[in-house]
Chains A and B, each alone.
Chain A
Amino acid sequence: MTQHAAGRRGAPWDRRRLLRAVTLNGLGLLLVAAGWYGTGGAGEVRGQIAWVNIAAAGSVVVAVANGMLVLAGRRLVALRTQAYLGAVSVPEWPLTARGPNSRSPRAMSLAEDAFVAGDTMRWYHRSDCLCAIGKALAEASRVSHERAGRRPCRVCRP
């Protein structure tokens, strides 16, 4: 795998992005300083409002510049991590033994009508749920499971 093209070694940001962040931070601090200078020079509140707005705009510029920098860095790190983990397949929800779209029509009808759970279990599952495979469970309808105080499994989401 080659060095990521977006940034220099040791940091995800390229020079242009860093320069933009530094410039915007400087501009924001300059606006805050101008606001401070302006409010100090004005004798009345009426004359200070505009300068306070300028200073507030400067702080917003600083916040946006820093937020953009951090978000860009997080995104670049995530992209590079995904490049490493690209070969690992992540199953889609709901997590079942055969995958979300690979059930036979019979299994689908069973899954719609009957769900499985054990006598002492707190959750009821689809019959092909990863949490139910290999266990001796009894089938029953959703209503009867919920009457018994069980809740739907969070993995297979029956």
Chain B
Amino acid sequence: MDLAKIVRHQWDRVAAAVLVGIGLVALLLGWIGASGTSFPAEQIPYIVSGGLFALCVVAIGTTLWLSADIRDEWCKLDHLDTTIARHTAALESLSVTVIPEAEPEPRPRAGTGRR
């Protein structure tokens, strides 16, 4: 399977991996930036951008991955729905065509039976 096909079919997982990667890079850059200065007033912007922003991006990426799993389960249930509906329709058509409703036999009238 080529890359374009993977991206098209698994776009949410690819996006999740990219976002988690971006988050980890932001975390690393924030750490490098904060460790480069000894002034708290200069470290705090790195904590916000490298820490909190990275946390948000990783959270969004994780949600995308989990939602991809949930969508997969939902699609399996859809498939189950379709299969059940198809088999139900097949069974109903079988019962209509193969087993026609039997006509009741005429009951003998009273007094005309064998002696």
Binding site for B on A (CB under 8 A): 1-4, 7, 9-12, 25, 28-29, 32-33, 35-36, 39-40, 42-45, 48, 51-52, 55-56, 58-59, 62-63, 66, 69-70, 73-74, 76-77, 80-81, 84
Contact = CB atoms under 8 A, between A and B. Distances in A.
Contacts of A73: 66-67, 70, 74
Interface string B47-88: 111001101100110110011001101110110110011000
Contacts, number: 93
B41 A51 contact: no
A142 B112 CA distance: 77
Interface in B18-64: 40-41, 44-45, 47-49, 52-53, 55-56, 59-60, 62-63
Contact of A84 (B40, B41, B77): B77
State which size class the interface on B falls in: 20 to 34
A72 to B, nearest CB: 9
Contacts of B62: 66
B60 A25 contact: yes
Nearest to B55: A59
A70 B63 contact: yes
Contact of B52 (A32, A80, A84): A32
A12 B74 contact: yes
Contact of B53 (A2, A36, A70): A36
A62 B66 contact: no
B77 A48 contact: no
B46 to A, nearest CB: 9
Contact of B71 (A10, A52, A66): A10
Given A12-B74, A52-B48, A43 B41 contact: yes
Contacts of A77: 70, 73-74, 77
Given A1-B81, A9-B78, A10-B71, A52 B60 contact: no
Contact of A32 (B41, B48, B75, B84): B48
21 contacts: A1-B81, A1-B84, A3-B81, A7-B74, A10-B71, A10-B74, A12-B70, A12-B71, A12-B74, A28-B56, A32-B48, A32-B53, A35-B52, A36-B49, A45-B40, A59-B59, A62-B59, A66-B62, A70-B70, A73-B66, A80-B74
Contacts of A45: 40-41, 44
Contacts of B60: 25, 62, 66
